[in-house]
């Protein structure tokens, strides 16, 4: 099952709106300077996935890694669970996408096989499947990591775009950031990716 709800958020730090989008015919994208720019959506029930599967999708354009946050839902309380999608600088994975999940004690993470540090638009998707693990797609190239992700992921944090607690600010452009309850079918994701052609 797939569910997508809309929630209003705010930009801060000087996010530049109106930049050229990844998807032709869509609304414009936003540019983040890597210093203090972010978008924030207050905590609400539609943004907490509880013990359900969920999918995170975005178009990103960057030249910088450094564990820069694409989107995350995480509070300032270390003991609360969270999830986060970043451009990582982890050893042997620099410039790849990292999808992280924490139950409040243990952090589980998965990496893409394809990097994104070329200043071009990349379509990024992470499927968090509680029965098996995390699959990450970058421009249709997928990688799967078997993980135990059973506990409730709900927390009191905001959804932040371009920043997250303990992660650096994103530097580059972001477009079409979307969160879905459930695992979005691969065919629909492929149609989203094709829309940029």
pTM: 0.94
Neighbouring-strand partners of residue 136:
126, 143
DSSP string, the chain: --B------EEES-PEEEEPPSSTTS--EEEEESSS-EEEE---GGG--TTS-EEEEEEEEES--SSEEEEEE--S-TTS-EEEEEE---TT-TTEEEEEEE-SS-EEEEEEEEE-TTSSEEEEEEEEETTTEEEEEETTEEEEEE----S----SPPEEES-BTTBBPPEEEEEEEEEEES---HHHHHHHHHTT-
Query: For 189, phi and psi rounded to 5 degrees?
Result: -60, -40
CATH code: domain 10-194 is 2.60.120.200
CA dist., res. 93 & res. 181, Å (int): 28
**Predicted pLDDT of residue 45:** 83
Domain layout of the chain by residue ranges:
10-194
Across the 197 residues of the chain, what is the mean pLDDT of every consecutive 10-residue run? 62 96 85 97 90 96 96 93 97 97 93 97 97 96 92 93 95 96 95 83
> Residues 45-84, buried b or exposed e (16+ Cβ, 10 A)?
eebbbeeebbbbbbbbbbebbbbbbbbbbbeeeeebbbbb
Q: For 32-55, write each residue's pLDDT tens digit.
A: 999 999 999 999 888 899 999 999
Q: For 64-92, write each residue's pLDDT tens digit.
A: 999 999 999 999 998 999 999 999 999 99
Please report, for residues 34, 89, 108, 109, the alpha-carbon distance to residue 116 in angstroms, rounded to integers and kept in the order given. Answer: 16, 12, 21, 18
- Specify whether the CB–CB gap between 189 and 125 falls below 8 A: yes
Q: What is the CA radius of gyration of the chain?
A: 15
């Amino acid at each position: 099952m797939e569910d997508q709800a809309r929630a209003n958020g705010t930009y801060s730090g000087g996010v530049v709106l109106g930049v050229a989008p990844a998807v032709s015919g869509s609304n414009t994208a936003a540019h983040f300077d890597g210093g203090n720019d972010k978008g924030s959506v207050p905590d609400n029930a539609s943004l907490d996935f509880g013990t359900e599967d969920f999918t995170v999708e975005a178009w990103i354009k960057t030249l910088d890694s450094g564990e820069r946050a694409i989107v995350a839902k995480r509070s300032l309380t270390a003991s609360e669970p969270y999830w986060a999608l970043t451009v990582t600088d982890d050893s042997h994975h620099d410039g790849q996408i990292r999808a992280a999940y924490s139950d409040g004690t243990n952090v589980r993470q998965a990496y893409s096989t394809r990097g994104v540090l070329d200043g071009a638009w990349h379509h990024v998707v992470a499927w968090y499947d509680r029965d098996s693990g995390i699959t990450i797609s970058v421009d249709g190239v997928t990688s799967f990591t078997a993980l135990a992700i059973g506990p409730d992921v709900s927390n009191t944090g905001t959804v932040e775009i371009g920043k997250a607690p303990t992660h650096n600010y994103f530097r580059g452009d972001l477009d079409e950031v979307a969160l879905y309850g459930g695992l979005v079918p691969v065919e629909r994701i492929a149609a989203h990716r094709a829309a940029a052609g």
